[in-house]
Amino acid sequence: MGSIFPVSKRVSFSSGQRMMKKHRSCNNQTEGGGGEGEGEGECQQQHLCNWAELVLPWLSPPDLASISSTCKPLYLISKSITNQRSSDASRSLENHHAPIPFLNTLDTHPYSYFIYTPSSIIGFPSSIPLHQSWGRKPQLPIWGTPSSPILHPKPTDFPSLMVENASGCGCSDCSEEIDGKFHCPCARLRPGLSGFSEDVGVITECGESCGCGRECGNRTTQRGIAVRLKIVRDSVKGWGLHADQFIRRGEFICEYAGELLTTDEARKRQQKYDELASQGRFSSALLVVREHLPSGKACLRLNIDATRVGNVARFINHSCDGGNLSTVLVRNCGSLLPRICFFASRDIVEGEELTFSYGDIRLRPKGSPCFCGSSCCFGVLPSEHT
């Protein structure tokens, strides 16, 4: 796994300034002639490069660009990091890993910078800056420092999200059927998704308290992204998630992962995002989902913010015609909160953009324009007061 934690002073632009000083010192010694001075200079330059390969992957794009202009060794390391970031948005953190590249032939933005998590985590205060190593292979399994808590993007690491003393199924094979029905009490989804239906709404998968293993057929969404995807830059919509293979109807695409927020925090962030959007091109990825009772009354509200911490689902754009993805609430047995998962609502051809409906259209005077291009486009993105 990669690492997510509040940034420390040791991983800051000042580190780059210290590296520049070392490089200048190294140049001064090598310009003086050969012999012992030259050998010492080469040694110091090698130490500089070794240190840079450790520190530079933690830097944001502006800091990385600033450091790359100081000297050739740092430029080459920065370029390598940029290429690695562009080649895989998921940082090799998905279980069934295939790179999810950024593809941009329009401008000079090689990738979109954000903190990656395969599944949702408890949100950080927005005032705390976060950094994650990105662009170095292999990824270091560091989830904290002595001064910051260890974090892991799984609900089981947060007791408040799990039902205490929950009992799961004792099945050895949850895919077994009796008279055409699943024997497993948790199962609501067939292996391979052959029984998927758009009107299911909520499905249940086996959880941590169940006796089956990770390869259980009723844990499809827990095994992460299993289809090939790519992120493509559009001249109007910006980045968008596309299929990089043929995807059959009913196949699992990905979970919508990000920071789990309280409603108060979600409202504060949305207010800030609206202010930023009014000043220029800024797009947030705060998703609010309400689970309703049969009576129609909302009984659960989920606030998932993938603006600064999320996965590739943050790049899925809206389509007024409903798009080609279905949004499904998936409950793990023993978990208090469901997860938001996307499935293909129809067959999807290679290269096709993946889209879904953000919600009901409520026309507002200052609503963001919609560029979905569908025949039923309303011209404005769905929005509501959080």
Between 13 and 64, residue with greater pLDDT = 64
Between 99 and 184, residue with greater pLDDT = 99
**Nearest CA to 196 among 251, 143, 243?**
251
Domain boundaries, the chain: 5-98, 155-356
Task: Taking residues 194-202, report their average pLDDT.
Answer: 51
Residue 16 has what pLDDT? 44
**Nearest CA to 321 among 274, 372, 269?**
372
Tokens 């001075």 appear where? 37
Range of weakest confidence among 217-231, 232-246, 372-386: 372-386
Task: Taking residues 300-325, report their average pLDDT.
Answer: 93
Residue 27 has what pLDDT? 47
DSSP class of residue 335? B
pLDDT at 59 over 60: yes
- Kindly report, residue by residue over 147-190, the tens digit of the pLDDT: 444 344 443 333 345 555 666 777 776 766 666 666 677 765 54
| Beta bridge partner(s), residue 309 | 115
Residue 132 has what pLDDT? 86
Task: Taking residues 295-301, report their average pLDDT.
Answer: 72
Question: For residues 227 and 248, what is the distance between their CA atoms, to the nearest angstrom?
Answer: 10
pLDDT at 21 over 60: no
For the domain 155-356, what is the CATH code? 2.170.270.10
CB 328 within 8 A of CB 311: no
Range of weakest confidence among 33-47, 282-296, 333-347: 33-47
